[in-house]
Structure 1
Amino acid sequence: MSTRSRRSGPRVGLLLTGILLVCGACGGGGAPPDYTAEELEAAKARLRDHARLRTFEAGKLFGDEWVARAPHDAELRGLYAYQLVGWGLSREVHEQADAILADDPDNPWGLYTKAYALLVDGEAKPAHEMALKAWEASPQPEFAFLYPRALVRDDFEAARAFLVSLDEETRTWPEVLRMQAELESAARYELDDPTWADSSRATWAEFKERFPNHVLGYTRLANEAYNARRMDEWTLLMEAALELAPGSLEVRSQHWRGLWMSELLPREERLPAVEASMAAYREAIPETVEGLQGMASMYREMDGEARAAELEAQIVESDPGSYHASLVYVGETRRVGRELFEIYEERGEDSPEYRAQLEVVRDAAYRFLERPLYSDVFKGGVYLDLFRALEAMDPVPAEELAEAIRGMAEFERLNPHITYGDAPLAMIDHTPYALEAADLVREGVPIMLERVTESRDFFDTEGEFDQALRSSVSGIYDVIGWAHFKAGHTEDGRHTLERALAIADRNRDARYHLGQVYERLAVEAEEEGDAEAVTEWLDQAEDSYIAGFGAGRGENPNQTALEALYERRNGGREGIEEYLATLDERDRIRRRDRILESRVEAAGTYEPFQLARLDGDMVDSADLEGKIAVLHFWGTWCGPCVVEMPEYQKLDERYRDDPEVQVLSISNDRTNDVIGEYLAKNDFDCTVLVDDNYVDRAGVNAWPTTWFVDREGYVQFVQIGTALKLDEEFSWRVEAIREDTSSP
């Protein structure tokens, strides 16, 4: 198959235009076009220029005009659709594809445009299948980029193989070299090999040299320089990008964030510098809602709420049913949701302020759902916010909650563990629709299992993946079993819950639910006067709660149920502390044994580093020789990391004066300011090193991750994810290494 472009040249365009003019004159088929073949080809070239410069704002305006003038030119529509992709306008991209395919169902530009529409919608598989058809019908540079871009989401190796299969001439296209650089960047994660970052950087450097008029060569390398804190290099690259594309929101946004978030400028100079760049941007292009949205978003990041609100009001007034207006609407709901979380953090869920904010969140969600929305894409998240607010109310409004959960089931797909887990449980506990909740879970089983399967690459071993799969399936049985029990079908509930625990016996929720079932069976036995059966059922309830005791972070319903059961069986709380202490020690011994058994079988050394502390002093991993080291990778952006930081601070304090142990954390945050402000706000003074892309070189791709290193530099234990009781469990590992090695 040839990979040469089959785009028609100017001579063919002239011939086609001549035919159209003749037909228009002879057949009465409408007015002749108001452009020449040369002008049409120039318009296509200009749309390609907008793609090259990432000036989608101006590109869309230009394309609007030309598609109206030449509506039957498929290539023009396809190039215009790419400008719409830059705006995130899924519906309009579909419209362009449908218009092309209505004239010719096999038109390669129509297939290409439809593939992009599907990709914007997150439908990767049909997107790459359609893009391949377009490529096979007419190998175009744009198709050579889109096909592997869509394919990589399903099959990384197949996308790489496609690029390798292209002939030499095709591989000289900028679209192909760009895709190569992006695949190399992805390879560091897909292949768990950080050296691919160097390959990607080299390819982008080659791209910049070979295609100096393509803005991506500059912006991609600028991003690499920014991440490595090479701000002089970043400045030069961004200046070149801005000279090429002063009217590109994509380029400007990168510039604004670099000026604002880096330490390139003193803090008092950052806002004026960003606003000067914004002014230059507005001078470069006509005003668009896309540009207004980008500037409003930046003002939000800079805490310029009033200015952001002004820009957003312009968007809504301009077109209340547009995509960008919908972004404004959803932004309102998210902000009140963040305020709710902040109130929760500062004042707690029992405070009047928190209770009042729940009403604000509910009202904001209903207000959003009544708006003239561009599409349904944001409804799922809003229904999720509404569900969370309603569930936290006292009393819970049952009918409203049920409707919110039904809305989640229809629109929310990003969080299946909530949509088909937490939400149905809430429906079971707070509404009369327990069996409907079970049906919702059954309908969501394929989605939940697909999500687990998609996460396969995050697990190092088949055993870990199997454990995750079992946990998901166990959760499904747990919810269905609990629904049957709450609907009055006690035996069905018991058997289903027992099945849940047969699949994953550490499912604490299933333990709690099954304990409740056993207690109900004890009540029924008591009503029948069967004292022996009462004792047996209560013993089983106690065993179930004990098995779930201490099985997870946060409030554990098994402990509450266990205390209530103790009071029921003993006529009061006398002796309960001793009883619970015995159980806690039992759990502690079990956790310690499990952790010590997790020692790395074939311990290896780690990538050496020289990293700066927040005060600028350098720390060299060579200085850790002869010491036991705890290396903790985290970031303020990582929710689980932040949750366990108070306990990490305790661990740091535990070993701060121990000459044999060094505890170091490596933050993956963008700026020192972010780290410093977080530590100061929480009164943390643990030693923090600033990542300079070391995580890529070392192959760390999950947060939090912690290495426990012996005196000779070998990693003996690895903890990925949060610990149940960090200070205690991390110290067990440290002391185990200390016991195995003598002091130098």
Structure 2
Amino acid sequence: MSSAHRLLSPFASCQALTFSLLLLGCRSETAPELTRLHLAATPDEAALGASALVRRGYLGHDWWGCARDGAALRLLHPDSAPLRAWTILCVARSGGDALAQADAMLSERPGDPWALFARAGALIDHPERGAEGVLAAREALAAMPGHPDAVWQLGRGLVLHGSHAEIAAFFAEQPQPALADVLALELAHASSARDSSEQRVFDLAARTRAADPRCVDAEFLPAQWLLQRRRPAEAAPFLARALELSPHAPALHAELWHALQQTPGLTASEQRAAIDADVVLLLQSRGDDPSALEAAANVYRDMSPETHDRLVADLLARFPASPAASSVRHARLTALAYAHDERHKQNAPDLAQDAHLRRALDEFLAGPPPSSRQLADAYRFRYTLVRDDPDATPAALLAAVQEWAPHEQLYLFVLGPAAADLAERTPYAAEAEAIARACIERAETLMTRARTRAKDAADLAHSSAFYLAPAYEALGAVLLAQRRHPEAREALEKAYSLTRDRPDLFVKLAALAEAEGRIGDAEKFLIEGSAVWRGHEVCDRALRALYVRRYGSERGYERHREQLAAGIREQRRQQVLATAIAEPGPLPPFALPKLGGGELRSDALLGRVAVINLWSTSCRPCVAEMPALQQLADAFAGSRDVVVTTINLDDAADHLPAWLRERDLRLEVALGGRYAMDNNYTTLPMTLFVDRSGAVVFTKDAATEQLVEEFTWRIEALRDSRPGG
């Protein structure tokens, strides 16, 4: 037995022999295929074979390889429109300027169906113009009606950019049995949906495999689905088959490395040896592929920093203008900017490190053009340096915001507050208002897509709270700074109607109320805001300052605050209880190992009110609310009809006992990462409130500032209700 095979012994029940043979050597399919092309009977057959080869490389996730092969084959077949079109699609997926190539093809061949096909593919993968690709794909299909490639491309455009209704209609319209590539699209759509069942994913994979045994996605997508649910041993045979079909694709190898890192039973040295072996194989065949170097560097980031640095240096030296190099430089910038933010939060400035970040930003912006997202991030990082500099002038702050604003299309929840800060700290209120209104326009654009893809009203409400609420809050703050109170009230009330989870919004509502002489309303807003996450810190500071402005000192403040809180407590309780699920469903059953031994079973909770908190040590809000959760558990420790328990989602549990001891946490902990993924519990922290009959009546996503109080209200409501009622 080979050493690589021994290292993969946990996969013994999952076709380990095939898997380990892949680690020992990937067979090359490209060279034999090229040989067969040269032996083709006619030039037309050779051109068709060349196009098919590039197409298969694309569908096999070997995008750099198929772009390279396509460019070489076009020298032999310069008039082959399908070959040129599929090569352009490969360029799009490998990060090249595919749209320029597609436009050139269309200019040379006006109205040519394959030129339309190429342009649609380039648009679908464009970082900013993806939605246009759907219209272009429809045009291409109209020019080549019924052509399998054109049908596939329209489906791909819809899966990436269309509405749920459009996607469902597309798949419903396909003839039966459907084309393998279309089935693979349906599989991709199902495997990415949070509510897809395991049976649906694997049924689609089987149908796709039956329609085309060489379809890589029939193997790769189920593997991804399983890995997302922390089931690496089950993912192994799918990855083995995918790598047999497309042995040189960096994306497939990266998923293999991810599986090895997740596999229980492998020691760190065993993981390292297996990954080393496979990285060598990939770089032997794709050492000139920047994306392969980037993938290899990423897997070594924590496992072997020196190897990571060597691969990054190689990538930057050999391919400085590649998208992979930009991604590496962007990752470095992000790490520096994150460190700056942490220092700022801790009030521990480091001028030398800030100067280092500033130089890195200048070099990044002066270097090869990055992606639009990376460019926006770089200007955002530069803005934060100016914002946090106590010596920055108002003009410098204005310049930093205006430099950043045109590029920011997504992180409007950061750009909006920057506009508000500009209005409050500088005389540039008009400029700040223009940026805030631009945020609203961009948020509405994002909501147009969100409305078509939202699964239900709750999903749409979440998108509105994420995109629109911060934009309207920013506009309200800017108008408030200009003392345009009626307009400010309209904007802030709009934000308040969209979300009640932003403490800074309550501060701005209170500031408006105080400016209008409504002191009682101002205090109520701040008390209400103090109950949301981070609200106690943000809103209590504002409430205390308001009290000092009214009474000249803090004397008597604590008593005053408690009286205010008592007055609004019943209103808050009713708001919390109003979040009960209209039609409660059963708690998904589980039998999970407990930290320290034993098992936690869902059926053992029947007859009691259960509070189940899902958490991870990597989730900061989870960690922050754990002491309060311990207080809740202590408060009900003597109750026979209430149980407070937790499910931890960390990949490994070895560190948990010491981690809990350090924080004096004695909570019951079950280990259930797979359980959470299988049941789409993906927001952390998440708390389930289960009645005596086993129905989930309340859920609380995200952390809670007043945890003991609000969780107790839910518990008491379930205690008072009839079983199942």
Matched residue, 1:496: 487
- In structure 1, distance between residues paired with 2:652 and 2:251: 21
What is the CA distance between 1:635 and its match in structure 2? Answer: 4.5
**Could you tell me which amino acid in structure 2 is paired with residue 402 of structure 1?**
L
Per the alignment, do residues 666 and 560 of structure 1 end up closer, same or farther by CA in structure 2, a change over 3 Å counting? closer
Partner of 1:411: 407
- What is the CA–CA distance in structure 1 between the aligned matches of 2:462 and 2:372, rounded to whole Å? 35
Structure 1 residue aligned with 2:11: none
Counterpart secondary structure, 1:88: coil
Distance 1:258 1:198 in 2: 22
The reply to whether residue 39 of structure 1 matches residue 19 of structure 2 is no
| CA distance in 2 between partners of 1:230 and 1:468 (Å) | 30
Show the 5 A alignment for 1:121-270.
Answer: 121-122=126-127, 123-138=129-144, 139-152=146-159, 153-168=161-176, 171=178, 173-186=179-192, 188-189=193-194, 193-195=195-197, 197-227=198-228, 229-270=230-271
Residue 88 of structure 1 aligns with which residue?
95
Q: 1:652 to 1:423 in 2, by over 3 A?
A: same
Does residue 1:445 correspond to 2:440, yes or no?
A: yes
Q: Note the C-alpha offset of 1:741.
A: 6.0
CA apart distance, 1:349? 1.9
Q: Report the equivalent of 2:278.
A: 277
Q: Which amino acid aligns with 1:40?
A: A
- List aligned pairs for 1:301-320, cutoff 5 A: 302-320=302-320
Partner of residue 552, structure 2: 571
3-state SS of the aligned residue for 1:631? Answer: strand
Alignment partner, residue 380 of structure 1: 376
Residue matched to 2:422: 427
1:132 maps to a residue whose letter is: R
1:707 aligns to what SS in structure 2? Answer: strand
Alignment-derived partner of residue 553 in structure 1:
533
2:509–2:525 Cα contact (<8 Å) kept: no
| Partner in structure 2 of residue 400 of structure 1 | 396
| More deviation, 280-289/127-136 | 280-289
Distance apart, 1:320 and its partner CA: 2.5
For 1:544, give the aligned amino acid: A
Whole-angstrom distance in 1 between the partners of 2:70 and 2:310: 28
Structure 2: distance between partners of 1:107 and 1:568: 73
TM-score, normalised via structure 2 length: 0.83
Alpha-carbon distance between aligned partners in 2 of 1:473 and 1:209, rounded to the nearest angstrom:
46
**Is contact 1:632–1:707 with CA below 8 Å preserved after alignment?**
yes
2 CA distance for matches of 1:696 and 1:257? 17
1:508-530 deviation per Cα after TM superposition (whole angstroms, max 9, x unaligned): 6466446556767xxxxxxxxxx
CA gap of 1:358–1:727, structure 2 versus 1, over 3 A, is: farther
> Is residue 628 from structure 1 mapped to residue 609 from structure 2 by the alignment?
yes
SS at match of 1:630: strand
The change in CA–CA distance for 1:635 and 1:432 in structure 2 (over 3 A counts) is: same
**Take 1:154 and 1:736, find their aligned partners in 2: how far apart are those partners?**
42
2:316 partner letter: V
Distance (whole Å) between structure 1 residues aligned to residue 293 and residue 220 of structure 2: 21
The separation in 2 between residues aligned to 1:227 and 1:518, in whole angstroms, is: 47
1:66 to 1:702, Cα distance in 2 relative to 1, 3 A? same
Residue 592 of structure 2 is matched in structure 1 by 611
How well do the aligned residues superpose, as a CA RMSD in angstroms? 3.6
Aligned to 1:116: 121
Taking structure 1 as the reference length, the TM-score comes to: 0.81
> Which string of whole-angstrom CA distances, capped at 9 and with x for unpartnered residues, describes residues 271-327 of structure 1?
121111111222234532221111111111x34333222222222222323222211
Distance in 2, matches of 1:485 and 1:647, equals: 36
Cα distance in structure 2, aligned partners of 1:235 and 1:470? 40
Equivalent pairs, count: 676
Equivalent-residue separation in structure 1 for 2:453 and 2:138 (angstroms): 29
* 1:229 CA displacement: 4.9
State the distance in 2 between where 1:66 and 1:37 align: 13
Cα pair distance change 1:649/1:130, threshold 3 Å? farther
Shift of residue 706 of structure 1? 2.3
In 2, distance between residues paired with 1:210 and 1:674?
46
Task: Check whether the contact 1:628–1:662 (CA below 8 A) recurs between aligned residues.
Answer: yes
Instruction: Give the letter aligned to residue 579 of structure 1.
Output: H
Stretches of structure 1 lacking an aligned partner (at least 5 in a row)? 1-12, 19-34, 521-536
Residues 615-668 of structure 1 show CA distances to partners (whole Å, capped at 9, x for unaligned) of 674322111112211123345565654554443344344445544322233345
Q: CA 1:86–1:624 in structure 2 vs 1: closer, same or farther (change >3 Å)?
A: same
Task: Summarize the alignment of residues 591-670 of structure 1 with structure 2, pairs less than 5 Å apart.
Answer: 591-614=572-595, 617-635=598-616, 640-656=621-637, 658-670=639-651
Q: Is the 8 A contact 2:514 2:522 kept in 1?
A: no
User: C-alpha separation between the residues in 1 aligned to 2:653 and 2:620?
Assistant: 18
**Structure-1 separation of matches of 2:364 and 2:634:** 47
Q: Which moved more, 1:638-647 or 1:730-739?
A: 638-647
Quote the residue 1:350 is aligned against. 347
* Other structure's SS at 1:706 match: strand
Distance 1:485 1:630 in 2: 42
Q: Counterparts of 1:629 and 1:457 in 2: how far apart (Å)?
A: 37
Q: CA deviation at 1:471?
A: 9.4
1:58-100: CA deviation from partner (whole Å, max 9, x where unpaired): 32221222234444432111211232233233x2x11331122
8 Å contact kept, 1:449–1:469? no
Check whether the contact 1:401–1:427 (CA below 8 A) recurs between aligned residues: yes
1:23 — aligned with what? none
1:5-30 CA-to-partner distances (Å, cap 9, x unmatched) read xxxxxxxx99xx99xxxxxxxxxxxx
Instruction: Give me the identity figure in percent.
Output: 24
Over 3 Å counting, the alpha-carbon distance change for 1:227 and 1:451 in structure 2 is closer
- TM-aligned CA deviation for residue 201 of structure 1: 1.3
Query: Quick check: which has more Rg, 1 or 2?
Result: 1
Which range moved further: 598-607 or 400-409?
598-607
Alpha carbons of structure 1 residues 444 and 477: separation in structure 2 relative to 1, 3 Å: closer
Contact 1:607 1:697 in 2 (8 A): no
Which amino acid is 1:382 matched to?
Answer: A
Which of 34, 39, 51 is equivalent to 2:58?
A: 51
**What amino acid sits opposite 1:447 in the alignment?**
R
| CA distance in structure 1 between the aligned counterparts of 2:220 and 2:656, rounded to whole angstroms | 26
- Tell me how far apart the structure 1 counterparts of residues 271 and 379 of structure 2 sit (CA, whole Å): 38
Q: 1:597 to 1:246 in 2, by over 3 A?
A: closer
Residue in structure 1 matching 2:72, options 36, 58, 65: 65
- Which residue of the partner structure matches residue 299 of structure 2? 298
Question: What residue is the counterpart of 2:33 in the other structure?
Answer: none
Asked if the contact 1:299–1:308 (Cα under 8 Å) also holds between the matched residues in 2, the reply is yes
CA contact (8 A) 2:141 2:151 kept: yes
1:178 Cα deviation from its structure 2 partner: 0.6
Q: Distance in 2 between matches of 1:238 and 1:675?
A: 31
The structural deviation recorded for 1:367 is 2.8
- Residue by residue, what CA displacement relative to the aligned partner does 1:690-727 show, whole Å, maximum 9, x if unpaired? 44654465464644432211222233323233323223
- Structure 1 pair 403–653 and aligned structure 2 pair: CA distance change class (3 A): farther
Letter in 2 for 1:582: Q
Does the Cα contact within 8 Å between 1:262 and 1:671 map onto a contact in 2? no
Match for 1:350: what amino acid? N
